[in-house]
Amino acid sequence: MVVLATSIVETQITAAPVIDERVRSSLGRHLLEQLRREVVRRWTESGVADSELPPLLVAIERVRDALEPTPTEAFALRLGGPEGMELLVDVAHDLRSPLTSILFLAETMQRGQSGPISDVQRRQLGLIYSTALGLSSVASDLIDLSRSDQLVEPAPIPFSVTGVLESVHNIVRPMVEEKKVALRVLRPAVDQRLGHPVALSRVLLNLTTNALKFTDKGYVEIVTRELLPHRIEFAVRDSGKGIDRPALATLVSPLRSDTDRLREEHEDGRARHSFSRTGLGLTICDRLLRAMGSTLQVESRPDWGTRFFFELELPPYSSPRNTPHPTARPPQGR
């Protein structure tokens, strides 16, 4: 407040506002506004002559104009305010719509549906698809973080586990082909189950995309294992570099910045591209699994890879004859 008051006094005798950098903040602007209100209140209560106060008010206004936030600062202030999450979701929606078109066009062209393409062009389209899928995943994570409770159906419904696995496989297939790694899928013996297919699809897609992102050679596998007639373990395993032990404790912490960095080094020490360091994808997986009565678990060792796994209560379902069952597709807008 002393620094701010000094700036106002000096501004009354200089051609340009005199601003101390220490008051260039949201606190400085708040204090200035409070000071202005107090000056006007005291002016009114004390009966000060109108001719005595205008120069001071003019100086306050000049300082206030000089403290107006830049567009970057204004954006940051809004992010930190009560509408910050809403702003992020709006940005994510704006990003995801064109990315969805890029994904569709890249996959169509890669499969030769728009005409013959060379092997080089096919690989380039695979890179475009993989990059767009990564960016779309970041946008989807932001959107789903604000509505994760809406991704779990109010009550279990009949669905095909094989259908969920095939949907995930189809989405990541261009990424698999571009990276030239194997994707193995082990389906359960009993396919028709009662559960929450939308949430399950979202979790498996996030884990599979993440595994592919950090696997340059070898394989990624999605394995289902029947523990009891009504209970299934799902696991996504990769043969990547693995995660260091100190990073395991913060895997499901949103907006983390160090975990991905620990995993994005090649064996030769060169940094590789990572789509996101936010950790939102695993945070959403954790929330969805908790809503379904489960928890996300992980085991990882250097040069062995990483295995994420969880268990779900999925009672077998015998459908009436000729009654179709819904197959969930992850709500990605892709």
Residue 174: per-residue pLDDT: 84
Beta strands 192-195 and 231-238 are: unpaired
Are 225 and 242 a contacting pair, CB within 8 Å?
A: no
Q: Which of 176-180, 231-235, 323-327 has the lowest mean pLDDT?
A: 323-327
Query: Which range has the worst mean pLDDT, 63-67, 188-192, 203-207, 330-334?
Result: 330-334
Separation between Cα atoms, residue 114 and residue 122, nearest integer Å: 12
When mean pLDDT is compared across 75-84, 135-144, 170-179, 239-248, the lowest value belongs to 75-84
| pLDDT tens, position by position, 146-179 | 665 566 778 899 999 999 999 999 888 888 888 8
> For residue 334, what pLDDT is reported?
36
Q: By percentage, how much of the chain surpasses pLDDT 70?
A: 71
pTM of the model: 0.60
Please state the separation of Cα 287 from the chain's center in Å. Answer: 13
**Per-residue pLDDT reduced to its tens digit, 256-295:** 544 444 444 443 443 343 444 455 778 888 888 998 999 9
Would you place residue 131 in the very low, low, confident or very high pLDDT band (cuts 50, 70, 90)?
confident
Q: How far apart are CA 117 and CA 289, in angstroms?
A: 42
Retrieve residue 217's tokens.
């050679």
Average pLDDT over residues 117-137: 79
- Sequence letter at residue 294: S
The rounded percent of the chain whose pLDDT value lies above 90 is 22
Confidence at 316, pLDDT banded by 50, 70, 90:
very high
Residues 133, 209 contacting (CB under 8 angstroms): yes
Give the mean pLDDT of 194-206. 91
Give 296's pLDDT tier (boundaries 50, 70, 90).
Answer: very high
Q: What is the pLDDT of residue 279?
A: 59
Average pLDDT, the chain: 76
Nearby residues of 230 by Cβ (< 8 Å), 6 or more positions away? 313, 314, 315, 316
What integer is the mean pLDDT of 76-98?
Answer: 66
Residue 190, pLDDT above cutoff 70: yes
